[in-house]
């Protein structure tokens, strides 16, 4: 394991410290960016503030270079690795999407199989479009009342590994958007015995590394790679993320893979935010997340006392497909008051000025973090009371989201690049899609490239559109047409 160099501790933030030193040096810039510390763009400086534009600088010797880090960025990465209990850590500036893609691109290549649950983020399947690897989907169990996908059952993973001994990796969500965790330690053991890597999408799991009473983190479970959205529960700026490596991975190769698609002009705003947030989590994370957990438990209890709403929690744990549950995720099932989650989501925003993370057909999810206060939670609970009082009706006719088993006909890459035609969506029954369709958020595909269009999928898309879900994926932004493979 690479260790931070002598004298550096978690109380340091090397990139931040270098930027502070750099500011006092008053270097005259004859390099990019062209706004020259904001002087060339006064309106932007006024909007973002001089402090902010003043550190929007290019890579240079005293500030290191993310593509080939040898000094302060390297130090920051080593401190991050230490803080997360990883062998190596990479600062990422293209969002956790780039972490996930680098992870997948490092683990498998064209024609190789990767085992994964279908409720993965689109970035995973996008990576398969890029490198031509073939997905082997494990059906995640569904909770029929809540209409959400759960984790992967051990028996399903065992089957997938037995049936696909040539697969090279297993990817899992730790946790899912809703907070559901699979038995990651058990999965790591199974996969490693079969010589497969384990990749964890921990976009929603940064806090597992620091909080007490949290589900197991991927690195602690012995996984080989993990993508951690520091900008979600970790408090760094949007688009900043970390890629972690476990023992036995080749960090030089992973860095090469990252550099295939990552910018050569990495933002120091993003990198310093990662550095400062890592320091904060290492020094105060336990305390911070104890607070978040307290807030979430309180909110869950209060919402469940309103009546009609169900804020689910650890009672879902069943030892297998819900091996553990992340209590900081505040998901609320709304169908019993007669409203789809997406409808509650819209009312909260339009009438109560409350923006939550997302609403799907049956649930809403409020994201609680480091920055929340009890009085904000009171507003959410108060508004949910009001929505029930003003809008509740019979739940008849509401459709629940169910897991739709995909029928994979082509690999994502083949389908994406195949010869295709655009058809009105209602005429695509029985055809193979060449593109994604998903509600965003959560960004989990209903249809991915290479999958068969079935009646259930068409019904689902129609219903989700009618309820006001924000649909994305296809070239046609109105989602009236869908690209499907030409029939030969």
Partner 1 sequence: MELWFTEKHSDDVNFSINTDRQLYSCQSEFQRIDVFESREFGRFLTLDGIMMLTEKDEFIYHEMITHVPMAVHPNVRTVLLIGAGDGGALRELSRYPTIERIDMVEIDELVVEVCRKYLPQTACRFDDPRLNLYYEDGLKFVRRKENEYDLIIVDSTDPFGPGEGLFTREFYGNCYKALKEDGIMVNQHESPFYDSSREAMQRAHKRIVESFRISRVYQAHIPTYPSGHWLFGFASKRYHPVDDLNSAAWNLLGLKTRYYNTKLHVGAFALPTYVEEILRDVE
Binding site for partner 1 (CB under 8 A): 302, 351-353, 374-375, 378-379, 381-383, 385-386, 389-390
Nearer to partner 1, 212 or 389 (CB): 389
Instruction: Of 222, 209, 257, give the one whose Cα is nearest residue 103.
Output: 257
Q: How far apart are CA 460 and CA 225, in angstroms?
A: 34
Give min distance, CB of 352 to partner 1, in A: 5
Q: Helix or strand or coil: residue 325?
A: strand
Nearer to partner 1, 352 or 367 (CB): 352
CB 361, CB 463: distance < 8 Å: yes
Nearer to partner 1, 378 or 466 (CB): 378
Give min distance, CB of 233 to partner 1, in A: 24
Give min distance, CB of 383 to partner 1, in A: 4
Give min distance, CB of 375 to partner 1, in A: 5
Nearer to partner 1, 334 or 434 (CB): 334
Q: Alpha helices of 392-443 — where are they, by DSSP H?
A: 412-417
Mutual angle of helices 95-107 and 122-131, in 10-degree steps: 40
Which residues are within 8 A (CB) of 332 and not within 5 positions of it... i.e. 6 or more apart? Answer: 303, 309, 310, 311, 312, 341, 344, 363, 364, 365, 366, 384
Q: How far apart are CA 14 and CA 483, in angstroms?
A: 48
Give min distance, CB of 347 to partner 1, in A: 10
Give min distance, CB of 378 to partner 1, in A: 5
Nearer to partner 1, 113 or 388 (CB): 388
Give min distance, CB of 300 to partner 1, in A: 15
Distance, first Cα to last Cα, the chain: 53
Nearer to partner 1, 381 or 484 (CB): 381
Instruction: Of 360, 350, 226, 377, give the one whose Cα is nearest residue 293.
Output: 377
Task: For the beta carbon of residue 56, count every other beta carbon within 10 angstroms.
Answer: 15
Q: How far apart are CA 436 and CA 433, in angstroms?
A: 8
Beta strands (DSSP E) in 55-117 are 88-92, 113-117
Give min distance, CB of 384 to partner 1, in A: 8
Give min distance, CB of 390 to partner 1, in A: 7
Nearer to partner 1, 296 or 447 (CB): 296
CA–CA distances in Å: residue 105 to residues 99, 226, 253, 261:
10, 13, 11, 11
Q: Which residue has the tokens 């923006």?
A: 355
Nearer to partner 1, 191 or 299 (CB): 299
Nearer to partner 1, 353 or 478 (CB): 353
Nearer to partner 1, 49 or 430 (CB): 49
Task: For the beta carbon of residue 312, count every other beta carbon within 10 angstroms.
Answer: 23
Task: For the beta carbon of residue 464, count every other beta carbon within 10 angstroms.
Answer: 23
Give min distance, CB of 51 to partner 1, in A: 21
Nearer to partner 1, 367 or 391 (CB): 391
Q: How far apart are CA 125 and CA 300, in angstroms?
A: 33
Element (H, E) at 188: helix 184-193
Q: How far apart are CA 457 and CA 50, in angstroms?
A: 50
Give min distance, CB of 247 to partner 1, in A: 46
């Amino acid at each position: 394991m690479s260790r931070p160099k002598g004298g550096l501790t978690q109380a340091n933030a090397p990139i931040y410290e270098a930027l502070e030193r750099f500011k006092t040096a008053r270097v005259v810039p004859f390099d990019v960016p062209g706004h020259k510390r904001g002087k060339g763009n006064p309106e932007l400086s006024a909007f973002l503030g001089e402090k902010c534009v003043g550190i929007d600088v290019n890579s240079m010797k005293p500030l290191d270079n993310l593509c080939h880090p040898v000094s302060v960025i390297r130090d920051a990465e080593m401190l991050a690795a230490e803080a997360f209990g990883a062998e190596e850590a990479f600062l990422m500036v293209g969002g956790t999407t780039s972490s996930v893609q680098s992870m997948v691109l490092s683990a498998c290549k064209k024609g190789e199989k990767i085992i994964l649950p279908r409720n993965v983020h689109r970035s995973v399947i996008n990576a398969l479009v890029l490198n031509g690897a073939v997905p082997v989907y494990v059906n995640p169990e569904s909770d029929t009342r809540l209409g959400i996908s759960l984790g992967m059952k051990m028996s399903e993973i065992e089957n997938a590994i037995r049936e696909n001994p040539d697969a090279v990796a297993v990817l899992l969500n730790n946790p899912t958007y809703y907070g559901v965790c699979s038995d990651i330690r058990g999965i790591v053991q199974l996969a490693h015995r079969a010589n497969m890597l384990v990749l964890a999408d921990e976009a929603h799991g940064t806090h597992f590394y620091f909080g007490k009473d949290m589900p197991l983190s991927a690195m602690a479970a012995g996984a080989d790679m993990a993508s951690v959205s520091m900008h979600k529960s970790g408090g760094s700026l949007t688009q900043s993320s970390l890629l972690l490596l476990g023992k036995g991975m080749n960090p030089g190769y992973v860095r090469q893979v990252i550099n295939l698609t990552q910018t050569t002009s990495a933002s120091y705003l993003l990198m310093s935010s990662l550095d400062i947030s890592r320091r904060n989590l290492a020094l105060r994370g336990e305390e911070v997340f104890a607070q978040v957990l307290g807030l979430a438990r309180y909110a869950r209890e209060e919402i469940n006392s309103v009546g009609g709403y169900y804020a689910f929690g650890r009672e879902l744990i069943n030892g297998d497909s819900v091996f553990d549950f992340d209590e900081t995720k505040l998901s609320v099932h709304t169908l019993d008051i007669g409203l789809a989650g997406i409808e509650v989501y819209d009312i909260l925003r339009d009438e109560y000025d409350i923006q939550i993370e997302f609403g799907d057909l049956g649930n809403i999810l409020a994201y609680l973090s480091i920055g929340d206060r009890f009085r904000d939670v009171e507003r959410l609970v108060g508004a949910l009371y009001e929505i029930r009082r003003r809008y509740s009706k019979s739940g008849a006719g509401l459709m629940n989201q169910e897991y739709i088993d995909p029928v994979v006909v082509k690999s994502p890459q083949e389908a994406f690049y195949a010869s295709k035609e655009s058809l009105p969506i209602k005429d695509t029954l029985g055809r193979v899609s060449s593109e994604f369709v998903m509600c965003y958020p959560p960004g989990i595909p209903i249809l991915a490239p290479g999958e068969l269009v079935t009646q259930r999928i068409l019904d689902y898309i129609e219903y989700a559109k009618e309820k006001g879900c924000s649909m994305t994926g296809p070239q046609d932004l109105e989602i009236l047409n869908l690209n499907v493979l030409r029939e030969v």
